[in-house]
């Protein structure tokens, strides 16, 4: 058995080991470039403090962007979609049961008519 | 007979007997001491996993294994005086069953190891481990049995134990409510399954899957039974629009349990595939039923991922992703089913789609289990699931963060992790069937990545927050549990073709080969 044989997808191939070798080579190149950079950084000095146009640095908890602030634009763009989808998830057991029975009935009609 | 011979011969029965024995001795072990109990449960889980691997090895090397309970010989399926009907309970473990056994064994060991730490601060652990082993027995029984009524019994054992586990933390009644929803929906599904079994028994005078498959006429009653089974099992595996219980149950259960609930859902998915491929196969209209499964799959992918993005509870978010990933499996195997009657299309892409879907079952169990365990580690340390209250944990929970990154990249289908390999097989084969479906699948992967970028940023990035200044890394057993799954995610991603050759392709062949399944049971009569 060839352990590193590429995955045959029926349409193409995927050779992860080759990809990994290329990835490691790229990481080495990036590391070498990084090593050529400025090395005067000193830990624990003024260099570590953020510069916010002269303003005082806010509390640590205040600068972290929380989950609810992420993808606001995406959710707004799809507001119509979410206005329909979210209310369907009522959390009410009887609603879940109605969905279950209704979908079963629908599939029964489809299978009964088309098969 | 040596111990090895005994294990080898009786492995199918032991797969259920050992977890049941472990479950009922657990409270006694707990009365002695917590150390004895922990040693007992870990030892029993390792023995169960070893038996599962022995059985799987036997199946993949020699072919399907029959185990007839109470017969003179383990493979004597049809007694001479039974009128040609296999009347006894028969376990029929083919490559697809063995494939599922391996998943259950790996996740079971990882979850149990993790639980030793994650649940150590809670009371009632005897009940916890008893229910856990009942879940293990339920899954092994469901995927191993060749008898429909027996399948129903194990489904019920799994549902009851799962409901107990979901309610385990109570959590001000929220967990109990989630468990109640799961329990009642599961009971309704079980009634559907039982009704379908009654239909088969009334028509074919048999409960054995192979016997029913051999006699299948696809009458109107068979259509009704098919729909009841498909609907019930699709609901149990969390397919949209029957998925509503999933975010409630997955988010309220302890994370270790949630990781195993993924496997429990996949056992129902296995049941769904077993019904349509082994019992009905080409006697039914494969195109219609195949497209129904594809539509379940597409809805699951799209609704699951889009509902995940706005979530603020980390486990609820992951639960919606579990729904979304189930969609990939349904899509791949649904395409295989839709073209099952056409040999040309099956060999051109249908079989590859099935292989992709089945491979994704394995991969999903590993990376989704890993992600739920990382969520559990975070909850263990900071006591909240609210993403809005998290941040900066990458400074202190470095290993958990690494495991999360591995799981997140795998679920998003980023190379070289295992999720990419199975998704690539699905994309390329489904593209040949219908390009639009493949494009939807790829867009869903992009949205999955976007969603997990949000989680990664919210939980691990940012400055070290003052309220979490004293947070430490997760305990070692939890890290080892996560590490086992992470290692498999990486290994199966780097070496996918041997996995496909050894595990996936035989499983897909076993599923598609109805004649072979029937012959393995009734051929020895």
Comparing C-alpha atoms, which of B180, B99, B98, B191 is closest to residue B152? B191
Q: Are residues B301 and B315 in the same domain?
A: yes
Let me know if residue B255 belongs to a domain: yes
pLDDT digits (tens, 9 = 90+) for B293-312: 999 999 999 999 999 999 99
Burial B362-378 (b: 16+ CB within 10 A, else e): bbbbbbbbbbbbbbbbb
Q: Are residues B252 and B298 in the same domain?
A: no
Query: What per-residue confidence (pLDDT) applies to A56?
Result: 84
- Cβ–Cβ below 8 Å for A67 and B454: yes
Q: Are residues B250 and B208 in the same domain?
A: yes
Query: What per-residue confidence (pLDDT) applies to B170?
Result: 85
How far apart, in whole angstroms, are the C-alpha atoms of residue A31 and residue B73?
Answer: 65
What interhelical angle do B476-494 and A16-35 show, nearest 10? 110
Q: For an interface test with A, which of B496, B502, B503 has the most A Cβ atoms less than 10 Å from its Cβ?
A: B496
Domains of chain A by residue range: 38-114
- Compute the average pLDDT of residues B131-144: 97
Query: What per-residue confidence (pLDDT) applies to A104?
Result: 97
- How far does A59 lie from chain B, in Å, by closest CA? 9
Q: Quick one: how far is CA B369 from the chain centroid?
A: 10
- Compute the average pLDDT of residues B444-463: 95
The set of residues, in sequence order, having a beta carbon less than 8 Å from that of B465 and lying 6+ positions away, is A60, A61, A64, B391, B392
The total number of residues written for chain B in this structure? 525
**Average pLDDT in chain B:** 94
Query: What per-residue confidence (pLDDT) applies to A82?
Result: 96
Let me know if residue B501 belongs to a domain: no
- Compute the average pLDDT of residues B30-46: 95
**Average pLDDT in chain A:** 90
Comparing C-alpha atoms, which of B258, B26, B280 is closest to residue B133? B26
- Compute the average pLDDT of residues A49-54: 81
pLDDT digits (tens, 9 = 90+) for B457-477: 999 998 889 899 899 999 999
Let me know if residue B394 belongs to a domain: yes
Domain limits at B93? 1-283+516-525
How far apart, in whole angstroms, are the C-alpha atoms of residue A59 and residue B148?
Answer: 62
Task: Retrieve residue B518's tokens.
Answer: 């029937």
Q: Are residues B251 and B364 in the same domain?
A: no
| DSSP secondary structure, B335-381, as one string | HHHHTTT-HHHIIIIIHHHHHHHHHHHHHHHHHHHHHHHHHHHHHHH
H/E run at residue B67: strand B65-68
Of A57-61, B49-53, B57-61, B336-340, which range is least confident?
A: A57-61
pLDDT digits (tens, 9 = 90+) for B281-292: 999 999 999 999
pLDDT digits (tens, 9 = 90+) for B347-371: 999 999 999 999 999 999 999 999 9
Indicate the burial class of B202 (C-beta count within 10 angstroms; 0-12, 13-18, 19 or more): exposed
- Cβ–Cβ below 8 Å for B498 and A5: yes
Let me know if residue B484 belongs to a domain: yes
Helices and strands (H, E) in chain B, number of each type? 21, 2
- How far does A37 lie from chain B, in Å, by closest CA? 25
pLDDT digits (tens, 9 = 90+) for B259-273: 999 999 999 999 999
Let me know if residue B508 belongs to a domain: no
Among the partner residues B224, B388, B495, nearest to A108 by beta-carbon distance? B224
- Compute the average pLDDT of residues B333-345: 95
Number of domains in chain B: 2
Q: Are residues B276 and B301 in the same domain?
A: no
B365 to B68, B115, B258, B277, B508: CA distances (angstroms) = 30, 17, 11, 22, 17
- Compute the average pLDDT of residues B376-383: 95
Comparing C-alpha atoms, which of B402, B315, B470, B463 is closest to residue A65? B463
Q: Answer yes or no: is pLDDT of B407 > 90.
A: yes
Q: Are residues B68 and B197 in the same domain?
A: yes
- Cβ–Cβ below 8 Å for A66 and B465: no
Query: What per-residue confidence (pLDDT) applies to A44?
Result: 80
Q: Are residues B177 and B276 in the same domain?
A: yes
Looking at chain B, the whole-number percentage of residues with pLDDT higher than 70 is: 100
Q: Are residues B276 and B294 in the same domain?
A: no
How far apart, in whole angstroms, are the C-alpha atoms of residue B64 and residue B56?
Answer: 10
Cβ-contact B41, B133 below 8 angstroms: yes
- Cβ–Cβ below 8 Å for B429 and A9: yes
The set of residues, in sequence order, having a beta carbon less than 8 Å from that of B308 and lying 6+ positions away, is B317, B318, B320, B321, B324, B448, B451
B residues 282..311 contacting A (CB < 8 A): 284-285, 288-289, 292, 303, 306-307, 309-310
pLDDT digits (tens, 9 = 90+) for B65-105: 999 998 888 778 888 777 778 888 999 999 999 999 999 99
Q: Are residues B81 and B170 in the same domain?
A: yes
Query: What per-residue confidence (pLDDT) applies to B525?
Result: 42
Tally of CA atoms within 13 A in the half-sphere of B509 that contains its CB: 13
| SS (HEC) of B178-205 | HHHHHHHHHHHHHHHHHHHHHHHHHHHC
Among the partner residues A11, A101, A111, nearest to B432 by beta-carbon distance? A11
pLDDT digits (tens, 9 = 90+) for B199-238: 999 999 999 999 999 999 999 999 999 999 999 999 999 9
Q: Are residues B268 and B301 in the same domain?
A: no
């Amino acid at each position: 058995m060839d352990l590193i044989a590429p995955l045959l997808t029926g349409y193409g191939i995927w050779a992860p080991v080759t990809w990994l070798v290329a990835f490691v080579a790229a990481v080495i190149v990036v590391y070498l470039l990084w090593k050529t950079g400025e090395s005067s950084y000193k830990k624990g000095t003024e260099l570590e403090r953020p510069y916010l146009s002269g303003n005082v640095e806010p509390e640590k908890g205040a600068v972290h962007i929380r989950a609810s602030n992420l993808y606001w634009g995406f959710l707004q763009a799809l507001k119509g979609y979410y206005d329909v989808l979210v209310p369907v998830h009522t959390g009410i057991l009887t609603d879940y049961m109605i969905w279950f029975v209704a979908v079963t009935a629908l599939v029964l009609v489809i299978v009964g008519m088309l098969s | 007979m040596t111990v090895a011979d005994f294990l080898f011969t009786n492995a199918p029965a032991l797969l259920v007997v050992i977890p049941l024995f472990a479950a009922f001795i657990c409270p006694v072990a707990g009365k002695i001491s917590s150390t004895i109990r922990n040693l007992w449960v870990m030892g029993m889980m390792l023995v169960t996993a070893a038996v599962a691997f022995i059985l799987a090895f036997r199946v993949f090397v020699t072919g399907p294994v029959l185990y007839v309970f109470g017969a003179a010989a383990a493979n004597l399926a049809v007694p001479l005086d039974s009128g040609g009907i296999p009347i006894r309970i028969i376990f029929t473990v083919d490559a697809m069953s063995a494939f599922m056994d391996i998943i259950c064994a790996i996740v079971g060991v990882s979850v149990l190891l993790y639980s030793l730490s994650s649940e150590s601060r809670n009371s009632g652990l005897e009940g916890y481990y008893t229910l856990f082993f009942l879940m293990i027995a339920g899954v092994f029984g469901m995927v191993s049995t060749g008898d429909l009524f027996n399948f129903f019994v194990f489904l019920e054992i799994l549902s009851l134990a799962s409901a107990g586990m979901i309610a385990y933390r109570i959590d001000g009644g929220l967990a109990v409510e989630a468990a109640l929803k799961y329990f009642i929906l599961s009971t309704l599904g079980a009634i559907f399954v039982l009704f379908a079994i009654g239909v088969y028994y009334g028509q074919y005078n048999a409960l054995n899957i192979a016997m029913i498959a051999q006699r299948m006429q696809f009458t109107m009653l068979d259509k009704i039974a098919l729909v009841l089974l498909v609907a019930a099992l699709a609901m149990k595996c969390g397919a949209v629009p029957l998925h509503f219980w999933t975010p409630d149950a997955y988010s309220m259960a302890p994370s270790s349990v949630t990781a195993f609930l993924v496997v429990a859902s996949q056992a129902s998915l296995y049941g769904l595939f077993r019904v349509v491929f082994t019992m009905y196969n080409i006697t039914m209209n494969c195109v219609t039923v195949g497209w129904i499964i594809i539509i379940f799959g597409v809805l699951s992918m799209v609704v699951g991922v889009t509902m995940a993005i706005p979530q603020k509870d980390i486990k609820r978010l992951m639960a919606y992703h579990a729904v979304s990933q189930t969609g990939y499996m349904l899509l791949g195997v649904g395409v295989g089913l839709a073209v099952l009657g056409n040999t040309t299309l099956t060999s051109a892409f249908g079989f590859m789609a099935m292989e992709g879907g089945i491979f994704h079952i394995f991969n999903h169990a590993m990376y989704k289990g890993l992600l739920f365990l990382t969520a559990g580690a975070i909850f263990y340390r900071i006591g909240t699931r609210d993403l809005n209250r998290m941040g900066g944990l990458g400074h202190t929970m470095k290993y958990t963060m690494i495991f999360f990154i591995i799981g997140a990249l795998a679920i998003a289908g980023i190379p070289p992790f295992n999720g990419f390999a199975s998704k690539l097989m699905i994309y390329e084969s489904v593209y040949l069937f219908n390009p639009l479906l493949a494009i939807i699948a790829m867009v869903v992967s992009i949205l999955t990545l976007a969603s997990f970028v949000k989680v990664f940023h919210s939980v691990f990035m940012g400055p070290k927050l003052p309220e979490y200044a004293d947070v430490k890394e997760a305990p070692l057993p939890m890290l080892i549990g996560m590490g086992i799954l992470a290692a498999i995610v990486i290994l199966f991603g780097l070496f996918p073709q041997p996995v496909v050759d050894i595990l996936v392709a035989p499983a897909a062949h076993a599923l598609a080969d109805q004649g072979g399944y029937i012959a393995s049971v009734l051929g020895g009569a």
